[in-house]
Amino acid sequence: MEFSTKALDLSKAGQNGFLASRTDCLVVGMFEGQSLSGVAKALDTATRGLVTRLVKLGDFEGKRGSHLLLHEVAGIGATRVLLVGLGKEAEFGDKAFAEAARTALRALNGTRAANVIWCLAQSMPQLPQVPAQGAAHDVQWRVITTIALIREAGYRLLERHPELRRNGAKAADKPFGLRKVVLTVDAAEAKVAAQAVVRGMAIANGVELTKDLGNLPSNICTPTYLADTARGIARRFKLKVEVLGRKQIEALKMGAFLAVTKGAAEPPQFIVLRYDGAGVRQAPVVLVGKGITFDTGGISLKPGEGMDEMKYDMCGAASVLGTIQAVAEMGLKLNVVAIIPTCENMPSGTATKPGDVVTSMSGQTIEILNTDAEGRLILCDALTYAERFKPAAVVDVATLTGACIIALGHHNTGLYARSDALADQLLQAGRKSLDTAWRMPLDDEYQEQLKSNFADMANIGGRPAGSVTAACFLARFTDKYDWAHLDIAGTAWKSGAAKGATGRPVPMLTQFLMDRAG
């Protein structure tokens, strides 16, 4: 899919202006219950009052979620016009903006339109601005958000992996029809908008990489496959990559990570990807992603029902790869390191057993009371390894606990951080990218639940506050730097009929890094 921007000066728009351009469809927004404004008004003038007459007829009032598709409209160059209801101007915000785009995409899906002129990203003074952070919904936001929504609609499950497609007679999904999208913007915004297209594409590519990796079955997406993916990103975008195998992991004394991989035949990998976008002296942001390519629970075996979904237990790793690729593709002036401990969690004659005690890379000992609490075990050694980068901040991302889904459901990622500043940056980035998180507590009181009679700590804290105690476990390995933890168990994939990876939290993380790059 191709995206471009076109400066549109509404004061000059008319029959000889952009409305005369040939296109399969002109997509125009209209507010409810007020006189026409913006592009809708220009369209009305060019069509000798057609829009006004439609409103009078009562067939289209601009209600939120509504649309009207028109054909063969005289006086303009477009084959079709899609009017999209924006709802009441006073109630128009980022959610309504996204809903309008989704409504338009659903309507376009029923047509054969391939090339469209999209006027819904045109400047919208109605969108809330956040003065403290600068204009939150500036042209960059409108363009990036629009591209994200269009690419989301265009995503087809594992399109790049035809070997996995169903062999049935009919194709699994109707192919996405849009090929070329021209986003109109104000003339004064044109330059920023063009850069925003590059960024929007980079983010969408990162999100799609993350979705594809998540959706791949575990017999294909192995730790070795993740390592090869990292090498591929490094080659394409000129990053440094290092992959450590079992021998090197042993040499580093990552006893917690090794305890998890012990039962698996599939070799573990420890992936380090470096993007140096700023000077060598700038401390990097380190992203750590949980890469359990399949979580059976180990000897503390999970129940069989729905266990297939544990192929998604590497979505933290996938999102870290998607984010660093996006950052590299957009050429952000920032240093970022991605660290991915990856292995399978399997039961076998060589697997770790409940009650086993291991020594982590940090020297702290852990009593493994439940082998299904394996994410924190591979992450704690990766968090210790992260110290060597003298990071400005470390953010780990993990499908860590079922308890996080109980606490927050599928809308918000669980966010943990000691420092308010780092927490606020991530929360703000989440709100801006419509990929939200909710802050959870990290109080010392919870640490008591991790007490062990046989080691420095147990790897589980009992049923109460399961997501919190998992974060508290990780906190014990992060005292050398500013740290945040994202529990994405509820947000990384969808179950049921729409089963599939969501690509979250790539939008939040990329926004966070864009904000830090300034």
Residues 80-119: x/- map of binding to Zn ion (CB under 5 A)? ----------------------------------------
244, amino acid identity: L
Q: Is 402 in the site for ligand BES (CB under 6 A)?
A: yes
The CA-to-CA distance between both ends of the chain, in Å, stands at 28
Contact 78, 94 (CB under 8 A): no
Q: What minimum distance in Å lies between the beta carbon of 489 and Zn ion?
A: 8
Least gap, CB of 337 to ligand BES (angstroms): 24
Cβ burial, residue 89 (10 Å; 0-12/13-18/19+): middle
> Which residues between 360 and 389 bind ligand BES (CB under 6 A)?
370, 372-375
- Phi first, then psi, for residue 441 (nearest 5°) are -80, 155
Q: Which residues, numbered 297-336, are part of the site for Zn ion (CB under 5 A)?
A: 313
- Region of residue 277 (left: phi > 0; alpha: psi -120 to 50; beta: else): alpha
**Contact flag: residue 44 with ligand BES (CB under 6 A):** no
Residue 295 touches Mn ion, criterion: CB under 5 A:
yes
Distance (Å, rounded) from C-alpha 87 to C-alpha 90? Answer: 9
User: Does residue 460 bind ligand BES (CB under 6 A)?
Assistant: yes
Nearest CA to 315 out of 404, 426, 427, 393 is that of 404
Clarify whether 102 is annotated catalytic.
no
Identity of the residue, 313 or 396, whose beta carbon is nearer to ligand BES in the bound complex:
313
Residues 479-498: x/- map of binding to ligand BES (CB under 6 A)? Answer: ----------x---------
Does 47 sit near ligand BES (CB under 6 A)? no
The residues, ordered by sequence, that sit 6+ positions from 230 with a Cβ below 8 Å of its Cβ are: 241, 243, 271, 273, 321, 338, 340
Centroid of chain to Cα 410: 14
Smallest separation, CB 298 to Mn ion (Å): 8
CB 361, CB 248: distance < 8 Å = no
- Minimum distance of Mn ion from residue 357's CB (angstroms): 19
Which of 378, 386, 403, 471 is the binder for ligand BES (CB under 6 A)? 403
Q: Which tokens is 444 given?
A: 């010392």
Please check whether residue 12 is in contact with residue 161, taking contact to mean a CB–CB distance below 8 angstroms. no
Tell me if 399 contacts ligand BES by CB under 6 A. yes
From 88, 302, 439, 480, the catalytic residue = 302
Question: Catalytic pick from 80, 151, 199, 376?
Answer: 376
With contact defined as beta carbons under 8 Å apart, do 395 and 488 qualify? no
Interacting residue with ligand BES among 62, 200, 347, 466 (CB under 6 A): 466
State in angstroms the smallest separation of the CB of 469 from ligand BES.
Answer: 8
Q: Which of residues 281-300 bind Zn ion (CB under 5 A)?
A: 292, 295
The footprint of ligand BES on residues 309-338 (CB under 6 A) is: 313
Burial (CB < 10 A; 0-12, 13-18, 19+), residue 270, is: buried
Element (H, E) at 289: strand 285-289
- Whichever of 27 and 460 has its CB closer to ligand BES, that residue is 460
Q: Which of 249, 229, 227, 226 is nearest to 237 (CA)?
A: 229
Measured from the CB of residue 301, what is the shortest distance to Mn ion in angstroms? 10
Q: What is the 3-state secondary structure (H, E, C) of 300-313?
A: CCCCCCCHHHHHHH
Reply yes or no on whether 376 is catalytic: yes
Q: In the bound complex, what is the minimum distance in angstroms from residue 489's beta carbon to ligand BES?
A: 4
Nearer to ligand BES, 373 or 513 (CB): 373
- Please select the residue that binds ligand BES; options are 44, 295, 396, 435, rule is CB under 6 A: 295
Count CB neighbours of 16 within 10 A. 9
Convert residues 346-385 into a mask of x (bound to Mn ion by CB under 5 A) and - (unbound). Answer: --------------------------x-x-----------
Task: Based on the shown chain and the rule CB under 5 A, indicate whether residue 214 belongs to the binding site for Zn ion.
Answer: no
Q: Is 335 exposed, middle or buried (0-12, 13-18, 19+ CB in 10 A)?
A: buried
Q: Could you say whether residue 299 binds ligand BES (CB under 6 A)?
A: no
| Interface with Mn ion (CB under 5 A) | 295, 372, 374
Catalytic residue positions, numbered: 302, 376
